[in-house]
C-alpha cells in the first residue's frame, strides 16, 4: 500500500513541530526516519497514522485521503507501535496481542479459529509464544515491546508504523526484529536512532527541527557532511571483512581535545 503525505504541518504551543513535510512511500518499501532528539520523528509517525487531528496537510493511503476513511477501516490497513505503548488493563500477554484483531471483529463476524491462528503466528514471529499466559504487568520492557509488535502484526495491516521498535531489546532481539521487518511484505515506516541499523532500510528520511531535510538511499544520505551537520558527530565508514557490509563509527567532534 502506498502512503503519501503532502505539506504536513503541526503547531503546538506556538511552535512548529512538523514543518511542511512531503513524502511518497511505495508499496512494500521500508522507509527509515532518522534525526536528532526532538526533530519530529514520533510526531510525523502520528500524523501518518491520522492521530493528530490538528495537523494541516494531507495523508493518503493508495490515493484515499485518511480523513475520509473511517477509523476502523484505517485500523484494518495501518498499524502503529508507539514508544512506551502501555496497557493499563489486567491483561495476559496473549490478550494484548488479541486486541490487534479488534478492527476485524463485529457482531456478525465474531472471534474464530482464523483469529486464533493469526494471534499464534504473531506471538511466534516475535518469540513470545512460550509466555502467552503471563500477566502483562510481570513482563520486562523488551517483552512488552515485542508483544506490542505482535499486536500490530495481528492487526494484519498493509502499512506498519514503528517508533524506535528496537528500544528495550537486547541485541539478538533487535536483529531478529529488523530481519522480521525486512521480510514483511508490507509498507513500513520505522523511526530509528541506530544509524547502522538504518542502513538496512530501502530509503531514509532525515528529520531536523520538524523538516525533512534529506531523503534517499542510505548510502547517499549517511555522508560525513550530513552526519556532522545534522547529528553533530564525525563518522568513519568502515568495511566489515566478514561480508563487506559498510559500518559507521562515530566520533564526538564537539568535546574532542
Ligand atoms: N503535544 C506537544 N506539545 C508541545 N510540544 C510537543 C508536543 N509533542 C511533541 N512536542 C515537541 O515536538 C518536538 C518533536 O517531538 P518528537 O517526539 O516528534 O521528536 P522525536 O524526533 O521523535 O524525538 P526523540 O528522538 O527524542 O524520540 C519536540 O521538541 C517535542 O518536545
Centre of ligand 1 to C-alpha 42, Å, is 7
Residue 38 has which C-alpha cell?
526532538
Name the DSSP letter for residue 13. T
Domain boundaries, the chain: 3-222, 223-257
Distance between alpha carbon 119 and the CA centroid of its chain, in Å? Answer: 20
Share of the chain above pLDDT 70, in %: 97
Centre of ligand 1 to C-alpha 127, Å, is 31
Residue with cell 494541516: 56
Helix (H, G, I), strand (E, B) or coil at 208: strand
Contact 101, 119 (CB under 8 A): yes
Residue 105 has which C-alpha cell?
471483529
9, 11, 15, 17: residue to mutate for ligand 1 pocket, most atoms within 8 A of CB: 17
**ipTM, 2 decimals?**
0.97
Nearest CA to ligand 1 atom 27: 37
Helix (H, G, I), strand (E, B) or coil at 195: helix
Centre of ligand 1 to C-alpha 255, Å, is 26
Centre of ligand 1 to C-alpha 33, Å, is 14
Domain at 3-222, CATH class: alpha beta
Nearest CA to ligand 1 atom 16: 40
Could you report the per-residue pLDDT of 88-115, keeping only the tens digit for each?
668 999 999 999 999 999 999 999 999 9
Could you report the per-residue pLDDT of 5-42, keeping only the tens digit for each?
999 999 998 999 999 999 999 999 999 999 999 999 99
Residue 246's beta-bridge partner residues?
239
Which residues sit with their C-beta closer than 6 Å to ligand 1?
12-13, 17, 35, 37-43, 207
Strand ranges (E), the chain: 3-12, 15-25, 30-34, 56-61, 64-65, 78-81, 159-163, 187-191, 203-208, 211-216, 233-239, 246-252
Amino acid at each position: 500500500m502506498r502512503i503519501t503525505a503532502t505539506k504536513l504541518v503541526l503547531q503546538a504551543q506556538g511552535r512548529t513541530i512538523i514543518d511542511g513535510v512531503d513524502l511518497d512511500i511505495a508499496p512494500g518499501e521500508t522507509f527509515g526516519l532518522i534525526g536528532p532528539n526532538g526533530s519530529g520523528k514520533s510526531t510525523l509517525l502520528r500524523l501518518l497514522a491520522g492521530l493528530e487531528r490538528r495537523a494541516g496537510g494531507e495523508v493518503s493511503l493508495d490515493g484515499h485521503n485518511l480523513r475520509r476513511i473511517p477509523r476502523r477501516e484505517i485500523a484494518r490497513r495501518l498499524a502503529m507501535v508507539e514508544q512506551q505503548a502501555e496497557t493499563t488493563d489486567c491483561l495476559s500477554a496473549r490478550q494484548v496481542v488479541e486486541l490487534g484483531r479488534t478492527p476485524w471483529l463485529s457482531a456478525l463476524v465474531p472471534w474464530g479459529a482464523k483469529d486464533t491462528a493469526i494471534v499464534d503466528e504473531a506471538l511466534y514471529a516475535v518469540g513470545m509464544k512460550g509466555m502467552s499466559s503471563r500477566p502483562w504487568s510481570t513482563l520486562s520492557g523488551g517483552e512488552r515491546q515485542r508483544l506490542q509488535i505482535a499486536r500490530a502484526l495481528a492487526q494484519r495491516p498493509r502499512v506498519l508504523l514503528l517508533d524506535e521498535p528496537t528500544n528495550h531489546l537486547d541485541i539478538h532481539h533487535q536483529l531478529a526484529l529488523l530481519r522480521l521487518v525486512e521480510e514483511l511484505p508490507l509498507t513500513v515506516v520505522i523511526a530509528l536512532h541506530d544509524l547502522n541499523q538504518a542502513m538496512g532500510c530501502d530509503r531514509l528520511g532525515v528529520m531536523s527541527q520538524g523538516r525533512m531535510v534529506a531523503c534517499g538511499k542510505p548510502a547517499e544520505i549517511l555522508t560525513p557532511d550530513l552526519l556532522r551537520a545534522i547529528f553533530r558527530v564525525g563518522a568513519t565508514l568502515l568495511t566489515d571483512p566478514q561480508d563487506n557490509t559498510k559500518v559507521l563509527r562515530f566520533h564526538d567532534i564537539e568535546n574532542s581535545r
